[in-house]
Amino acid sequence: MIEIGHLSKTYDLNKAQVHAVNDVSLRIEKGEVYGVIGYSGAGKSTLVRCINFLEKPQAGTIHIDGFGTVYAGKQGLQLEKDGKQAQLKEKDLRQLRRSIGMIFQHFNLLDRSTVFDNVAYPLRYRHLSKKQIEERVDHLLELVNLSEKKNAYPSQLSGGQKQRVAIARALADEPDVLLCDEATSALDPDATESILALLKQLNKELGLTLVVITHEMAVIKEIADKVAVMENGKIVEEGSVYDIFASPKQPITRKFVESSSGLNKIGTLLQHQDSIDLSSPDSKLVKLVFTRESVGDALISQISRDYNVDVSIVLANVDLVEESALGAIIANIKGTKENVENALAYLESRSVRVEGVKA
Ligand SMILES: Nc1ncnc2c1ncn2[C@@H]1O[C@H](COP(=O)(O)OP(=O)(O)OP(=O)(O)O)[C@@H](O)[C@H]1O
Ligand SMILES: [Mg+2]
Q: Is 26 in the pocket of ligand 1 (CB under 6 A)?
A: no
- Domain assignments of the chain as residue spans, ordered by start: 2-259, 266-356
Ligand 1 atom with the shortest distance to the CA of 49: 18
**Mean predicted confidence (pLDDT) in 124-134:** 91
Ligand 1 atom with the shortest distance to the CA of 45: 22
Provide CATH code, domain 266-356.
3.30.70.260
The Å distance, Cα 87 to ligand 2 centre, comes to 28
* Domains 2-259 and 266-356 agree in fold: no
pLDDT of residue 274: 67
- Residue 262's pLDDT band (cuts 50, 70, 90): confident
Separation of first and last alpha carbons in the chain: 47
The Å distance, Cα 118 to ligand 2 centre, comes to 24
Q: Is 14 in the pocket of ligand 1 (CB under 6 A)?
A: no
CA angle, residues 100, 180, 32, in degrees to nearest 5: 70
Beta strands in 160-225, from DSSP E residues, in sequence order? 177-181, 209-214
Nearest bound ligand to the CA of residue 19: 1
Q: Is 11 in the pocket of ligand 1 (CB under 6 A)?
A: yes
Instruction: Give me the sheet containing 177-181, strands edge to edge.
Output: 100-104, 177-181, 209-214, 33-38, 226-231, 234-240
**CB 192 within 8 Å of CB 184:** yes
Q: Is 20 in the pocket of ligand 1 (CB under 6 A)?
A: yes
Does CATH place domain 2-259 in 3.40.50.300? yes
Could you give the CA distance from residue 120 to residue 115 in angstroms, rounded to a whole number?
9
> Who has greater pLDDT, 205 or 293?
205
pLDDT of residue 307: 95
Which helix (H) or strand (E) covers residue 13, if one does?
Answer: strand 2-13
Segment 29-75, tens digit of pLDDT: 999 999 999 999 999 999 999 999 999 999 999 999 999 999 999 99
Q: Is 44 in the pocket of ligand 1 (CB under 6 A)?
A: yes
Segment 317-358, tens digit of pLDDT: 888 898 888 999 999 999 999 999 999 999 999 999 999 887
